[in-house]
Amino acid sequence: MPVEGAPAMAAEDAGDRDIVEWFEAAAETAGAVQSQTLHRIVESNLGSEYLRRWLGGDLRVHDLSPAELESLFTSAVPLASHADLEPYIQRIAHGDASPVLTQQPITMLSLSSGTTDGRPKYVPFTRFSSQSTLQIFRLAAAYRSRVFPIRSGGRILEFIYSSKQFQTKGGLMAGTATTHYFASQEFETKQRTTKCFTCSPFEVISAGDYKQSTYCHLLFGLLFHNEVEFVASTFAYSIVQALTAFEDLWEELCEDIRQGTLSSNITLPTMRKAVLEHLMPNPSLASKIERDCEELRSSGWCGLIPHLWPNAKYIYSIMTGSMQPYLRKLRHYAGEVPLVCAEYGSTESWIGVNLEPLNPPERVAFTVIPTFSYFEFIPLYKQQKQDSSTLVTPDDFVEGQPVPLCKVSVGQQYEIVLTTFTGLYRYRLGDVVEVAGFYKGAPQLTFVCRRKLILTVNIDKNTERDLQLAVEKGSGLLSRTKAELVDFTSHADVAHHPGHYIIYWEIKGEVEEGVLRECCREMDAAFVDQGYVVSRKTSSIGPLELRIVETGTFRKIMEHFIGNGTAMSQFKTPRCTTNQVLLSILDCCTVKSFRSTAYAP
């Protein structure tokens, strides 16, 4: 069954118009739509063990109006973390087919990326998950096409990847949300009905080996170079990773195009067979690409995308949060081609759509889709201190009472709470957002940070955004050289006294040690949290340490996660880590270390 309230599939142009009209109507009365959404969620899952526990077994949903049910639900059902729901999800994973979280049995589980806290989490996945993914993709494409009209029958160079699915002890299929979607009927529908077609055959997407898939994605992108309308991936990292690999692979790719052969490094039989079916010798195309690449190489590969794909109108992927550090490199490859930020969502639920694709990623706001989940927002207030030296709490935020979607305030920061059709009730997502405005009755959100992703030694609290700002300040000094920051992560070392922050950098190019010492000092001074500043001045937190790791270190980290089931499409470099395996990789690969003098007496 389709996502409730959504229009049926129709002819493409009419379909764009229909889905926009549906969303505009939903946004106009977003508060009422939210009450109706919660009513449908509770009505369809009232027989579940979890809801019976909090709402009782004799609740008659039809006797309550949507507004009355909303009031009862938010007063009776407690806020929950993943840890609160994990025992129920584990029972499902182990084969409990009773209505634990949903009335209908859950037959699939998604794995979160696991890069936030070092281990993947199971999240229920149902047909609704795939349907809402198709729906938001169609909605976003309709708004993008108003700004960037694309040719019907063109191609999309998509760097998308499946990972392997596996069975839990109870026989349920488990895998990443992207893997489930790529294997779904909805993805097949998208591929069949879209204006543009993915360059690569499904065998490349589903291969399960990101290196071989990346090579073949690039190969097909070159074969269809004049037909590519836009370049896309789930995360910006995937595009940067693929184009960085291209710098080393272009000669081999050209040889395959010239001869109509396929590299011996492509060993997976199904993928190899599917790719070879599309290949034939094309010496003239190979020579053209070689000339382009020689020119690009001499200019540091600046503008690679418009040179090789001259009809590409934009680049499309998630570019906020932990993807923001890759924007500089992505712009280097993009030249004048616009960057368009993809939609805001999580493994648990889609949240908002980008209605203004011309906005740069740093200014993007996502309009909440009120039919996908029931949303609540916990207000977060900065702790008021009596003076700058009185630290009354180790937490930066005081929480208010959760408010519904229609009661949020512009300029206020909130943590998102979800109630989903897939069995998550008043689930604290951990994302901190700020309300930038309203589109009709639907709030527009800017992503701030992950609330739990913080560096802390004692009374200091620094978020992912604080870390990114500090790294940007420090790495800005690399502009004096020809070097660039490839990637970074961090760790709060509390095993030694005094504890201190360690920031790991991988750099491409040579940098004098004096510059790196200055980078280290600049980062230390860039953390403005009062707990950190006072602790550094009193030496209760030690000098920040910058560790330079050897080339390829962050690739090893990525391969560790992929080896443990994360799909390339879903990988995010952890910005802060306590994972001992990752720390072991980082420490073994450290080649230089520097200590800050920012607070030296």
Q: How far is CA 416 from CA 324, 350, 362, 379, 380, in A?
A: 21, 12, 20, 9, 11
Which tens digit of pLDDT belongs to each residue from 499-533? 899 999 999 888 899 999 999 999 999 998 877 88
Residue 313: CB atoms within 10 A of its CB come to 20
pLDDT for residue 451 is more than 90: no
DSSP H or E segment with residue 155: strand 155-159
The H-assigned helical ranges of 183-235 are 185-193, 202-205, 210-223
Which tens digit of pLDDT belongs to each residue from 106-142? 888 888 755 444 456 888 888 888 888 888 988 998 9
Roughly what angle, to the nearest 10 degrees, separates helices 210-223 and 283-298?
A: 110
The average pLDDT across 164-192 equals 78
Distance from C-alpha of 283 to C-alpha of 257, rounded to nearest angstrom? 7
Distance from C-alpha of 48 to C-alpha of 50, rounded to nearest angstrom? 6
Nearest alpha-carbon partner for 441 in 21, 36, 24, 29? 29
Nearest alpha-carbon partner for 199 in 164, 252, 242, 240? 242
Confidence (pLDDT) at 397: 65
Which tens digit of pLDDT belongs to each residue from 408-426? 999 999 999 999 999 999 9
Higher pLDDT, 198 or 15: 198
Higher pLDDT, 391 or 553: 553
pLDDT for residue 391 is more than 60: no
8 falls in which pLDDT band (50, 70, 90)? very low
Confidence (pLDDT) at 306: 96
Lowest mean pLDDT among 87-91, 536-540, 584-588: 536-540
- Which pairing describes strands 228-235 and 314-318: parallel, antiparallel, or unpaired? parallel
Lowest mean pLDDT among 250-259, 424-433, 478-487: 478-487
Confidence (pLDDT) at 144: 92
The average pLDDT across 20-38 equals 94
282 falls in which pLDDT band (50, 70, 90)? very high
The average pLDDT across 530-549 equals 86
Confidence (pLDDT) at 134: 85
pLDDT for residue 7 is more than 70: no
Confidence (pLDDT) at 299: 87
pLDDT for residue 287 is more than 60: yes
Confidence (pLDDT) at 386: 40
pLDDT for residue 3 is more than 50: no
Which tens digit of pLDDT belongs to each residue from 337-348? 999 999 998 889
| Bridge partners of residue 233, in order along the sequence | 159
pLDDT for residue 6 is more than 70: no
Confidence (pLDDT) at 271: 92
Higher pLDDT, 12 or 216: 216
pLDDT for residue 262 is more than 70: yes
DSSP state of 576: B
Confidence (pLDDT) at 162: 82
326 falls in which pLDDT band (50, 70, 90)? confident
- Cis, peptide link before residue 498, omega less than 30° from 0: yes
CA dihedral 112, 113, 116, 119 (to 10 degrees): 80
Lowest mean pLDDT among 322-331, 390-399, 422-431, 577-586: 390-399
pLDDT for residue 86 is more than 70: yes
Residue 572 CB partners (closer than 8 Å, separation 6+): 113, 115, 235, 237, 322, 323
Q: Terminal CA-to-CA distance of the chain, rounded, Å?
A: 68
pLDDT for residue 392 is more than 50: no
Instruction: Give all strands of the β-sheet with 122-125 in edge-to-edge order.
Output: 122-125, 108-111, 173-176, 166-167
% pLDDT > 90, the chain: 52
pLDDT for residue 239 is more than 90: yes
- Neighbour-count burial of 311, counting CB atoms closer than 10 A to its CB (0-12 exposed, 13-18 middle, 19+ buried): middle
Higher pLDDT, 460 or 39: 39
pLDDT for residue 427 is more than 70: yes
Higher pLDDT, 363 or 479: 363
Lowest mean pLDDT among 297-306, 391-400, 541-550: 391-400
461 falls in which pLDDT band (50, 70, 90)? confident
198 falls in which pLDDT band (50, 70, 90)? confident
What six digits make up the tokens of 482?
């020809």
The average pLDDT across 37-41 equals 93
Which tens digit of pLDDT belongs to each residue from 42-78? 999 988 999 999 988 777 878 888 888 888 999 999 9
The average pLDDT across 464-475 equals 88
pLDDT for residue 105 is more than 50: yes
172 falls in which pLDDT band (50, 70, 90)? confident
Roughly what angle, to the nearest 10 degrees, separates helices 30-45 and 12-28?
A: 100
Which tens digit of pLDDT belongs to each residue from 247-259? 999 999 999 999 9
